[in-house]
Amino acid sequence: MNTPPRALPSRILSSRPLPARPAYALAALSGLLYFLGFPGVDLWPLAFIGLAPLIVALRGQTPRRAAGLGWMAGFIMTMTGFYWLLNMLKVFSGFPTALCFVFMILLCAYQGGRIALCGYLYGRAETRGWPPAPVFALAFVASELVYPLLFPWYFGASVHNAPVFLQVADLGGPYLIGLVLVAANLAVAEIAKAWLDLRQERLAPAAASEALPPEDRDARGLKAALRRRPVLLAGVAIPALAALYGLYRMRAVDSAAAVAEPIKVGIVQPNLALFDRKNALRIHQQRTQELKSQGAQLVVWSEASIPRMFPEKGHELAVQRDITRRLGVPAIIGTLLHRPGPTRTDPGFSYNTALMADEEGKIVGRFDKHYLLAFGEYLPLGDTFPKLYELSPNSGHFNRGTSLDPLVWKDHKITAMICYEDILPDFVNKLVAQGDPDLFVNLTNDAWFGDSTEPWIHLALAKLRSVEHHRYLVRATNSGVSAIIDPVGRVVTHGGTFREETVFGEARFMRSRSLYNVIRDVPWYLATLAILAMAIVSRPRRPSAPPAPAVTEPA
């Protein structure tokens, strides 16, 4: 009589996909953990494990179910993390709350499609024999790169309060930070999958000649399975290397900043109601004088800080006469310009604009917003169907800017970004390539979203632009969060939300050339092409070796 063998079979334990109910439960758990680890809630260590339940759920699934699992995770994440969309839709559109809630569900269902795309690409490529770990990493970065969003976000922003992990952004933007986190999640998922494999093996053991006692199989099987999975090593090594690189870069950038030219910057945060025109000028001028007395050398106002429509023709003299000549300090202000149409019935063109004024109040620079906010500044399909503007009376009718040139003041170039342009990495890359600025300035009004987590999410996403290009970023917002961010993503100083105040601090004029600014998103487009190819073409099969005979011990 022979005893059972004392070694596991040489084959890797087979993986069977989870049934639908537990798989969707794990996907929903990932959506919740993603939200909890994201800016706003800021339990950022969860970013290293939050995707693991989804990765486990995706294993072995059909492409269709993998897409459904991804969508479930994305929908839960957006419905919880973007809860402030309801208030935004109410303010922007003027529709009833019930209808706005329906729109919110539809919008979150669409936004959740980003993770659905990741799941679908993963399911296609895995069924064609490609290794699951690199397939998920490629599918994840492809979905972040190419899926169009109304409100863009990036997984890498989850670690904005741990700047040591942010520094790889100067190599590959927010996508590389996300991949560092994905590596850790893949390692956690590998441990979970090894355990599930062993449970499946125990419930449905192989032939009796290959069976082990349960306690031996669990102990030896887990060790053997983990030894066979290099993903574990990568999941530890990649975050560790990113942290070491972060320490090195932070020290180098801090040394460069220490010798850069400083400037005292003041920010006016007026906390005006969305359509308050009466008090805007008085508050801004009064607060600017306070900042001037503190020693401010540059004062920045928020987006559309003076909500008055100036005629585009001759606006320089009009703004100087009515606003900037009384300031006595260089300032960047947000306002609105209008170019009338050729006929009375033609509404013409409006622009959301940032203007640079010198010490005497003379307008020396202009930047028009490029990326307009749907419903707030334009109505999707509104130009095709003008009747829609009658149904959505609060929606704006603005035109996009065309110039990427910076604001030039003295010997300095200041790149302006308006509203959520500071969370668009490719757009800021273009601005830097065009203007080679030595300071970033962002003018924003987040009052539309209420006193929610959105202003803090916006701040966290904006930090990445400072890291990618190693420039200071001055953010002036109407209702918060106004802040000065240093070149490694740390907040030098900031204000609160929904209170009138000033923010005063020091920035520095810096120029730097980063790898990400040079190569931009080319590697990530190549990664996208790679995962598309894997989703279409099956992996070539290697010739299989004959199975090794089982080794048994005599009775």
pLDDT, tens digit, 9 for 90 and up, residues 485-520: 999 999 999 999 999 999 999 999 999 999 999 999
- Read off the pLDDT of each residue in 109-134 and give the average, rounded to a whole number: 96
Q: The domain that contains 349 carries what CATH number?
A: 3.60.110.10
Residue 13 lies in a domain: no
pLDDT confidence band for 209 (50 / 70 / 90): very low
Both 53 and 83 in a single domain? yes
Co-location of 83 and 190 in the same domain:
yes
Mean of per-residue pLDDT scores for the chain? 88
In this structure, are 286 and 219 located in the same domain? no
**What percent of the chain is predicted at pLDDT more than 70?**
85
Choice among 182-191, 302-311, 325-334 with the minimum mean pLDDT: 302-311
Question: How many whole angstroms separate alpha carbon 335 and alpha carbon 548?
Answer: 77
**Which residues partner with 309 through β-bridges?**
336
Count Cβ neighbours within 10 Å for each residue of 448-474 and write b for 16 or more, e otherwise.
bbbbbbbbbbbbbbbbbbbbbbbbbbb
Check pLDDT > 90 for residue 424: yes
Whether residue 338 sits in one domain with residue 215: no
Claim to verify: residue 165 and residue 136 sit in the same structural domain: yes
**Residue at 330 is within a domain:** yes
320 falls within a domain: yes
Residues 234-266 have pLDDT tens digits of: 999 999 999 999 999 999 999 999 999 999 999
Same domain, yes or no: 327 and 416: yes
pLDDT of residue 385 exceeding 80, the answer is no
Q: Are residues 247 and 304 in the same domain?
A: no
Instruction: Give a yes or no: residue 378 inside a domain.
Output: no
384 in any annotated domain: no
Q: Whole domain around residue 477: which residue ranges?
A: 261-373+403-509
Same domain, 366 and 442: yes
In a domain, 550, yes or no: no
Q: Is residue 1 part of a domain?
A: no
Element housing 429 (H / E): helix 425-435
67 lies in the same domain as 134: yes
Separation of CA 24 from chain center: 25
* Cβ 41 vs Cβ 86: under 8 Å: no
Residue 12 resides in a domain: no
Looking at the structure, tell me whether residues 248 and 327 fall in a common domain: no
| Cβ–Cβ under 8 Å, residues 292 and 330 | no
Asked if 209 and 143 sit in the same domain, the reply is: yes
Do 319 and 456 fall into the same domain? Answer: yes
